[in-house]
Amino acid sequence: MARYDNIEEFEPDLDGTGLRIGIVMSRFNQEIGEGLLSSCTAALTRQGVSTSDILIVSVPGALEAPIALQKMAGSGWFDSLVVLGAVIRGDTYHFEVVANESASGITAVTLDTGVPIANGILTTEDEDQALARMSQKGTECALAAIEMANLLKRLDED
């Protein structure tokens, strides 16, 4: 339903039929990664993405995610990518380095390649916060990946 008369608007399209989705999961804080992955894959298939059109790869930590995403984006096979993981504050400055560098690397890949990436790297104070957020964040990322793949296809067509 259009918001305004005489102004075209693309509605969010959450139909995952035919879309090819790549997922990169960080194994650091693996329990959180697995929780994110489970809600993400469930949401993708609920929206119509075929299991044979999903590829899951894992990396040691969030800092390794951007290069895996870059390779997958460059393959030309994926309509959208999702990155999942958790960076949990410890006692050292390393938290800031991992949280900030992984996020900026992920943004650089998506803008350099034009392939949408849903960023599901949680950055939390402790493990409980990450456990509380993982199910919703995995679902959100699946929906964001589908919506952005469809939006970019639509913008290419018109």
Decide if residue 80 touches ligand INI (CB under 6 A).
no
Burial of 26 (0-12, 13-18, 19+ CB in 10 A): buried
Is 25 near ligand INI (CB under 6 A)? no
Q: Which is nearer to ligand INI, 26 or 41 (CB)?
A: 26
> How many binding residues for ligand INI (CB under 6 A)?
16
Q: Beta partners for 122?
A: 86
Site residues for ligand INI, 85-144, by CB under 6 A, read 85-88, 90, 94-95, 98
Choice among 27, 46, 94, 154 that is catalytic: 94
H/E element holding 139? Answer: helix 127-157
94 is catalytic: yes
Pick the closer one to ligand INI by CB: 39 or 150. 39
Is residue 154 close enough to count as binding ligand INI by CB under 6 A? no
Q: Segment contacting ligand INI (CB under 6 A): 8-16, 34-42, 79-87, 150-158? A: 79-87
Buried b (16+ CB within 10 A) or exposed e, 51-86: eebbeeebbeebbbbbebbbebbeeeebbbbbbbbb
Q: What's the CA gap between 26 and 56, in Å, rounded?
A: 11
Residues whose CB falls within 8 Å of the CB of residue 147, separated by 6 or more in sequence, listed in order: 12, 13, 14
Least distance between ligand INI and beta carbon 18 (Å) = 32
Name which of 136, 105, 110 is nearest 32 in CA terms. Answer: 136
**Residue 31 is a binding residue for ligand INI (CB under 6 A):** no
**Catalytic residue IDs:** 94
Q: Which residues bind ligand INI (CB under 6 A)?
A: 26, 28-29, 60-64, 85-88, 90, 94-95, 98
